[in-house]
Amino acid sequence: MRPPFAAIASQPCAVTIPKLLAALPLLLAAGSAHAGASGLYVYCDNGLRCVKAPCPSSSVLDLRTGAVIKGVSVDTKRLPEKDRPADLPDRLYAGKLVLRGAVERRMVTYTGKAYALPYLVATAIERKATADEAARCRGR
């Protein structure tokens, strides 16, 4: 008895390098769509300082998984006006807010070299972060 995939396995492979390269943008978009799923995050300064960009001096705590992602920048352009208090940068720096949004990778160029860096695209402020959440974000 032949396995059900034997007919497929006996066929020559139709995937060529040019076809694979042509499909690469679609594959990357599919991966970023998953990364772009909306979630709750605490953004904070992690205390790391650098002399050369890019610098992973900020982190986000993913409240769903508990994972801390280092080196994330925050994009607040999609926040509604009501969610943009004058002290927003200070509150973000200190990890005092829980943000709704998605982490996505963006291409950024520093000194002629391209990097795919993570960005938290914030769409709403959900609530104040607890002291425990802020401490976990900072890695303390």
User: For position 39, what pLDDT does the model report?
Assistant: 96
pLDDT digits (tens, 9 = 90+) for 38-85: 899 999 998 888 877 778 889 999 999 999 999 999 999 999 998 888
Mean pLDDT of 97-113: 93
What does the pLDDT read at residue 3?
52
The torsion angle over the Cα atoms of residues 107, 95, 40 and 108, rounded to 10 degrees, is 0
Cα distances (angstroms) measured from residue 35 to each of 30, 62, 63, 85: 9, 12, 15, 28
Task: Determine the pLDDT at residue 30.
Answer: 36
> Per-residue pLDDT for 9 more than 60?
no
Q: CA 92 to CA 115: how far, in whole Å?
A: 24
| Mean pLDDT, rounded, for 128-137 | 94
CA distance 78 to 80: 6
Q: Which two tokens stand for residue 86?
A: 């004058």
pLDDT for the residue numbered 57: 87
Q: Which residues contact 84 (CB under 8 A, 6 or more apart)?
A: 76
Does the pLDDT value for residue 103 go beyond 70?
Answer: yes
Query: What residues does each domain of the chain span?
Result: 35-138
Q: Which residue has the higher pLDDT, 34 or 98?
A: 98
Give me the long-range contacts of 65-68 (CB less than 8 A, separation at least 24): 66/136, 68/136, 68/137, 68/139
At residue 54, the pLDDT reads: 76
Q: Which of 130, 117, 123 is CA-nearest to residue 44?
A: 130
How wide is the angle at C-alpha 86 spanned by C-alphas 82 and 87, nearest 5°?
115
Residue 48: its pLDDT value, please? 81
